Structure 1
């Protein structure tokens, strides 16, 4: 005999009822409200799609945190599809069903909730949500008063979720919304903290309909990672201006998409870029700004950063074509005065001016904690004028210089002074030029071992934890020396 306790009569009754989904759906009419939770949990565990659909349409409580049940589910897409079918039944009605009291459907997977914990099925006094749950599920006072696409006021239902527009792995809920837009059916009101675009630009008509039911002032994180053109981004600008609580914005692989002459392309950028940058005046809570592989920033970065009035914590400019004029004023913008993380990486053309770096580092010396200048084209001559400002960054704990053609002499000078003035715990250094022969094509392994030993001796007084070589078999940003310090 095992030590497991036998199933209760309630469990047996639920399993028996779920054997016939048709009978289970009919039984919902007389099922006591306090039994909805154990029955729904069992239906999700057993993947009874028909019962899940019927229960969503009859849900007797104000909230249904379905996402919390999908964390460890074997078929979350199958369960979500069934729940969305029930949601569609609700939205198709002019008025809610007699019993249904559902106001908030929470599809977020990463939110802990007490809603499903400790349910005995014998009462509903423990259905009172926590303070966090009440805030998360409370519809906003300024809810959009939007009539459905069919002209019928939709069921007053809010859906909490993170929206991800991507083509390769379509989001189940996004597919549901898209299909309803195409069929001219009502949409629920949406609230999400994360809004992600992965891949090509979605059809603008469908995108506009979905964004029109989205509570834009609830969006905290917006990421666009795909081949969006500047004109595509300007279409999104009116919605961006209403994301007043946005704290993280990432634009990656955004292109100009201009096939005419360079002169006409520049004129096109000058016409469109103000439409993209002007909404930044409204983003008073923006903290993290990342621009990665954005091709139309040259001579326009100042236009964007001037519109960012709030001090940023993170500024990342990676693999962007930026004019020296933009960087020359980088230390004067209001948004750069309290940076904690600064990323300026990506190969620069010959003759690039690094004169802006000392002024910028001096300005953020009291706050900067992470500096990434990887693969930035820094040489001994361009780095030396920067070193005094670098040593003044008293809170700096992470420094990335890999991929820059620097000599051992510069590294020997940099490390002791930087460690003494800063709080370095992680350093990524390039393999010194001294270790390469034949025009930097071949790595002298024996000499590299001597260099590594010299670095160990230099770093030993500074609580060195580990030092290792990251081998990429070529002179690339990945070919680096990684140093860990106990700070």
Structure 2
């Protein structure tokens, strides 16, 4: 045996095939023509002449959580430790949640890290803890998708120390030549340094998600000019405060990616009427756009109506997530008047029907 596939959904048709449920593929199970019996001879094993045994590759997806290692996984990790040369754990998808970094490092020493293609690190870590993990990240040379979430710096961290950790991260990014999808959620230590990460990336990005992070206007400008984002399919800047920033760089970025952009998310960015109106001409050129989300922004009814007019020509756009219009609130405390909201919603639906887009959600 060379490969043991333990993915949860590996070869879903396996049992159906053997039970004869799918007759169209039953021919695969027909016995092969009998081969002439070959006379075998017994060869005594001699020292130094035994062929080297090829390792068995065990394919599985790993989810590392506190107290969630089941009996099978514990057994595999134990065997991989005992027989490193004969049992290789290959992991395409790796999820890491709240678990001590020492335990993570101990387990990852048993995994063929160059087989990891999809990594999610969803831990509330101090940046120093992330630093102890980065050497393992740098060994994932075939990584295509990376999510880093909730890495923060202590209030008294000096600029030199922060600079050190940013340098450590960017150094490991140099070892990820295939990275195409990057998700950064609540990564506070990158404030003012995001351009250094983007500068390292060489492969054209398909997905860039920066959530709940502080972006400087200079970083937004750099992002709009970065060569690696010119072919973006998905852009998510949700919960990035853009209220006080010029959105001209974002307008440039949307125009640059208008031929490829499929999913745009700007939820809870504090975008005002005047800012959003400036984005509408660029948005109207996104011919491949299928989903646009911008809930949680203080937008008026007139601007929402203008949005519908500007997106009339986007034939692939099927889902738009709007904020409740400003006119539907009773007071400055954010109390919704449900009757007004229903009335304004009906007006927007009528506009969609009039423009022949009644099926849009």
- Is this contact kept in 2: 1:324–1:353, CA < 8 A? yes
Aligned to 1:435: 328
Max Rg structure: 1
Which residue of 18, 24, 43 corresponds with 1:118?
18
Which residue of 258, 273, 286 corresponds with 2:166?
273
Structure 1 residues 105, 397: CA separation in 2 closer, same or farther (over 3 Å shift)?
A: closer
Q: Following the alignment from structure 1 to structure 2, what is the Cα–Cα distance between the partners of residues 373 and 176?
A: 45
Q: Following the alignment from structure 1 to structure 2, what is the Cα–Cα distance between the partners of residues 236 and 176?
A: 24
- Is this contact kept in 2: 1:200–1:228, CA < 8 A? no
- Cα offsets for 1:144-195 (capped at 9, x unmatched): xxxxxxxxx99943322111110153344443366679xx744532111011
Residue 224 in 1 paired to residue 121 in 2?
A: yes
Which structure has the higher relative contact order (CA within 8 Å, separation 6+)? 2
- Is this contact kept in 1: 2:291–2:317, CA < 8 A? yes
**Cα offset, 1:422, TM superposition:** 5.6
Residue 444 in 1 paired to residue 337 in 2?
A: yes
**Cα offset, 1:403, TM superposition:** 0.5
Q: Following the alignment from structure 2 to structure 1, what is the Cα–Cα distance between the partners of residues 105 and 335?
A: 54
Aligned to 2:74: 175
Aligned to 1:234: 131
What 5-or-longer segments of structure 1 have no aligned partner?
1-61, 63-102, 129-152, 467-482
Q: Following the alignment from structure 1 to structure 2, what is the Cα–Cα distance between the partners of residues 269 and 344?
A: 23
Aligned to 1:425: 318
Q: Following the alignment from structure 2 to structure 1, what is the Cα–Cα distance between the partners of residues 239 and 139?
A: 32
Which residue of 248, 268, 287 corresponds with 1:375?
268
After superposition, residues 16-31 of structure 1 pair within 5 angstroms as none
Which residue of 291, 294, 297 corresponds with 1:404?
297
Aligned to 2:280: 387
1:226 partner SS:
strand
- Is this contact kept in 1: 2:217–2:246, CA < 8 A? yes
Structure 1 residues 168, 209: CA separation in 2 closer, same or farther (over 3 Å shift)?
A: closer
Q: Following the alignment from structure 2 to structure 1, what is the Cα–Cα distance between the partners of residues 240 and 198?
A: 22
Q: Following the alignment from structure 1 to structure 2, what is the Cα–Cα distance between the partners of residues 335 and 322?
A: 18
What 5-or-longer segments of structure 2 have no aligned partner?
21-27, 32-51
Q: Following the alignment from structure 1 to structure 2, what is the Cα–Cα distance between the partners of residues 114 and 215?
A: 28
Q: Relative to structure 2, which stretch is displaced further, 340-349 or 410-419?
A: 340-349
Aligned to 1:332: 225
- Is this contact kept in 1: 2:238–2:269, CA < 8 A? yes
